[in-house]
Amino acid sequence: NVPVGGFRVKAVDTVGAGDCFCGYLAAGLAAGDALEDAARLACAAAAVSVTRRGAQPSMPTREEALRLLRNG
């Protein structure tokens, strides 16, 4: 197992971040991604989500999560 680090972002609202992480992790695993890859994208998605207010409105698109993953 390889540890997966988080991303430094300015958090505005953490409501829904755990749900976002779990949803992205589950979707990645269901799509056949390796655990490390799915977890890394899930971390990126959750990081994007905390930069916005609200639970559902803060959920990022896959492209937004991938952008953070690529750009750090």
Residues identified as active-site: 19
For residue 42, give the 3-state DSSP assignment.
Answer: helix
Find all residues with CB under 8 Å of 65, minimum gap 6, and list them.
Answer: 24, 41, 44, 45, 48
Beta strands (DSSP E) in the chain are none
